[in-house]
Amino acid sequence: MKHKEESKEVLSAVSEELAMPRVARSVRIAELRLDSTRIAQRPSTTIAGTVDKIIPSRARNGPEKALIVLDGARKRYRSISIANTLIDEHGADCSLKKGAHVEVTVTRKDVNWSR
């Protein structure tokens, strides 16, 4: 008896799902874009790292670079180099020092929601 009741519940759930109108993926994406209450965010990830080296500029007026080693990244992507000219939350110039712990956030610039 119990098995028949469970199968009836599953059948009714499937029937309800099939009764709902089907919507193409492109329509769902368009609905998300038009929803004014939803705040669209770019895909991003944050990775912890440590400043390994400070590389002086080859040009006289060029900025020095900071070589950052990322924790947990694959060998090929383990280190990145960025210009060591940063601005803090108060708008003042600052720079990274060797051995400093940093968090690197990578954000996708162009978001194509249709894929």
- Mean pLDDT rounded to a whole number for the chain: 83
Q: How far apart are CA 108 and CA 29, in angstroms?
A: 18
Structural domains counted in the chain? 2
Domain range for residue 60? 44-106
Render pLDDT for 19-75 as a digit per residue (tens, 0 to 9): 877 778 888 778 877 887 777 677 888 999 999 999 998 888 888 999 999 998 888
Q: Do residues 16 and 60 both lie within one domain?
A: no
Q: Is residue 85 part of a domain?
A: yes
Q: Is residue 57 part of a domain?
A: yes
Q: How far apart are CA 51 and CA 54, in angstroms?
A: 8
Biggest CA–CA distance in the chain, Å, is 86
CA dihedral 47, 53, 58, 59 (to 10 degrees): 60
Q: Do residues 20 and 53 both lie within one domain?
A: no
